[in-house]
Amino acid sequence: MKLYAIKRLFTKRTKNKSKHRKKSAAKKNKWLKRLRWTFHISLMLMVVDIFYLSTIWPDWNAIKQGSLPKSQFILKYEQNRRINPSLARLQWRVVPYGRISRHLSRSVVVAEDGRFYTHRGFDLQALVEAFEHNMGSGRVTFGASTISQQTVKNLFLSSSRNPLRKWHELILTIGMEFELSKRQILWIYLNIAEFGEGIYGAEAAARHYWGISASQLSPQQAIELAASLPSPKKNNPRNRSRKFLQRVDKINHYFVQRYY
């Protein structure tokens, strides 16, 4: 009788172990199946994204030769103006780097990207500083986009904050930094940056605010244009908002400190 009880107990434990193994195997197979599906879907999305990037990949050689296309922001503005003709007319004129005051290029670097000439498209130190500042304030009030990133965003992408757009910005910025010199990148930026409603590029801005060419901008005028970034509709040399004047003083301080 005792032997029979022991045999039953052994058989029950063996069955339990067998069931446990089967459940574990089924669970493992389920996770492996999910992993395979995730891999296949990720691979498919990657292929689609590579194809998309190939359709928007710039002709860097044409840009090097001075052929600068309209930025996505300019195209969007033209589209909005067709819907709403009351918007100010588009003002945009591309000029060579040599016809843009060096005071403006210096002011923009001081205002927007102080380490522009030393990084390769991404300023890790600025990212850390922005993270610490935003964590301290409890909200996102400080960004860390470089001139290279802003150039890519303005020229090829949009102002959307979704992760996919940021991913495309990263890839295009790497490509641009590899293909173009810092001087060429700054030339693009100064020719497509927005300086007011419908006002794009240094030449249009100089003519709109002071009736002169971009090559004639004085240090003070250049600092004021740089101070209008990145919110030129709210803060510009014409409306002279409080925030604009504060930014002028700040840029002027660093400009003098760096170049005089």
| Residue closest to 223 by CA, chosen among 88, 69, 109, 146 | 109
CATH number of the domain at 57-259, please? 1.10.3810.10
CA atoms within 13 A on the CB side of 67: 6
Report helix, strand or coil for 134.
helix
Q: Residue 141: what pLDDT?
A: 47
Average pLDDT over residues 113-120: 92
DSSP 169-206: HHHHHHHHHHHS-HHHHHHHHHHH-EEETTEESHHHHH
Report the distance separating Cα 70 and Cα 192, nearest Å. Answer: 8
Report helix, strand or coil for 72.
helix
Average pLDDT over residues 168-194: 95
Report the distance separating Cα 65 and Cα 96, nearest Å. Answer: 10
Query: What's the pLDDT tens digit per position in 64-79?
Result: 999 999 999 999 999 9
Burial 73-97 (b: 16+ CB within 10 A, else e): bbeebeeeeeeeeeeeeebbebbee
